[in-house]
A = this chain, B = another copy of it.
Amino acid sequence: MKLFESLNVAGMVIPNRVMVPAMVTRLSGEDGLVNKDITDRYVRYAQGGAGLIVIEAMAVHHAKSGPLLRISDDRDVPGLGDLVRRIHDTSDSKVVPQIIHFLKISKSGWRQTVDMLSLAEIDRIVEEFGDAVVRARAAGFDGAELHSAHAYTLASFLSRANPRKDDYGGDTLEGRLHLITRIFANIRRKVGNDFPVGVRYLADEFIKDGYTVNDAKLIGLRLAQLGAAYLSLSVGGKFEDAIHVAGQVPYPYTGYSGDRCMPGDWYPAVPHAQFSAEVKAFIRAHGFNTPVATAGKISDPGDAERLVATGAVDIVGIARGLLADPDWPNKVRHGEADRIVKCDYCNVCKHLDGTHMRVICALWPQGSLQAPPDDRSTQAPRWSADGANLVATVGQGKAALKWNKAAGAARYDIFRTDPLGHVEVADAVKVTRWEDHNLLAGMPYRYHVCVYGAAGQGGVPSNTVTVSLPMPDVSARA
């Protein structure tokens, strides 16, 4: 598979094209230092065979925040160095820190915007990013990634909503690009040209008056000109449309742009990769070979392979899918895709992040802080003597499924075959019942349930049931 070919990213050779994008874990303390839980989280990805691991956003500055890693002081370096060593000792995965600057925000809903920054404060941000990259290099990271996406400082400068009237805004593309251009120049002065620095930024802001892929192409071209090691594209995740709950710090993934950033189960698969493909084609047309990474509801190995094999993108970011199962890369490479613990896009992880809780996957065993080991020695779960006994009842526009418990079950996947014969995993649950609310009356839908143990070992599939909702009564009323 093309997905498992190596790639030279500005000197950093990643062994395959599967990337763990930066995901907040909320596992650090207020001190911002690496701890055992964080180390375990990222070593787990290395065990699973990801080609590039982007460590969750760590602050380049000292501003107050919730639990968040820091790379703002030399005291942060030893812990980060240990983390890097543990990952390098585990696999040939490459590892970079995502480095972030954010502005102030309060529980009242007030937030600092880029037009409130003085020129001296902007100068300080430039230095802070440069110093953070120096620390990343000192810690042994293979490179670094500037967080210029979502609701944070660099993205707010790139945004069409940037309200500054001076050289850092002024309603022009060059104004919006000025800060990141200066930051790159400063980084080069401080660490030289041989340390790979990639950038994550938005392909589309998905907010009113926000920028679209038209601007993303031009931003990508500038970043390529500046020598960005790679471009990693995300979408949305903005404060502009965040829903403010009284007494809580606004969370930039609560509005529509947040839906797009982490598309839930009602979204089609791979809804945003075409933007990354457009950016890649555009910079290639300008003669730049900068690798381009995409992300957003990618979980099917066929989709991932297609994105790379067709040349649409160079690297495939899988966030929630790798949280659910860090062994996704190794399982796919070894032809064991059927053993993947498949993300069902329930977004429990997103809600945990939004409430500053430690981020876990709802599909992990109860009480686990990490994905369970891929323990092939454990037995597959077994139905009791009377089997799965899957039954379905219909009514009120729904099909209600229930089935027996299986011994050793960690989860049940509901396989749904639509009237055209397409099979999909409609959901993954820990209980033994599920409802389908998305049926067209008069059409046949078929289901079976597969049971899995914690390491993904599958039991015997259940019996199959077919349902059809009665056509609604549309006769005239009295």
Residues of A within 8 A of B (CB): 123, 160, 167, 170-175, 177-178, 181-182, 184-186, 189, 206-215, 218, 221-222, 225, 241, 243, 255-259, 266-268, 271, 285-286, 396-398, 419-420, 437-442, 469, 472, 474-477
Contact = CB atoms under 8 A, between A and B. Distances in A.
Contacts of A214: 266-268
A170 B435 CA distance: 13
B439 A174 contact: yes
Contacts of A469: 174
Interface of A is mostly: loop
A419 B285 CA distance: 10
Given A170-B397, A259-B209, A218 B267 contact: no
A438 B160 CA distance: 11
Contacts of A182: 472, 474
A181 B474 contact: yes
B266 A174 contact: no
Pick the 8 closest A-B CB pairs, nearest first.
Answer: A172-B397, A174-B397, A185-B474, A208-B256, A172-B437, A182-B474, A173-B438, A175-B397
A252 to B, nearest CB: 13
A442 B224 CA distance: 14
Contacts of A398: 172
A469 B437 CA distance: 56
Contacts of A221: 440
Contacts of A213: 268
A439 B185 contact: no
Contacts of A255: 208
A79 to B, nearest CB: 30
A160 to B, nearest CB: 7
Nearest to A211: B266
A173 B182 CA distance: 52
6 contacts: A172-B397, A173-B440, A189-B476, A208-B256, A212-B266, A214-B267
Contacts of A267: 212, 214
Given A175-B396, A208-B255, A218-B438, 4 more contacts: A167-B396, A171-B437, A177-B440, A210-B256
Nearest to A176: B397
A208 B174 contact: no
Contact of A181 (B170, B225, B396, B472): B472
Contact of A215 (B170, B174, B266): B266
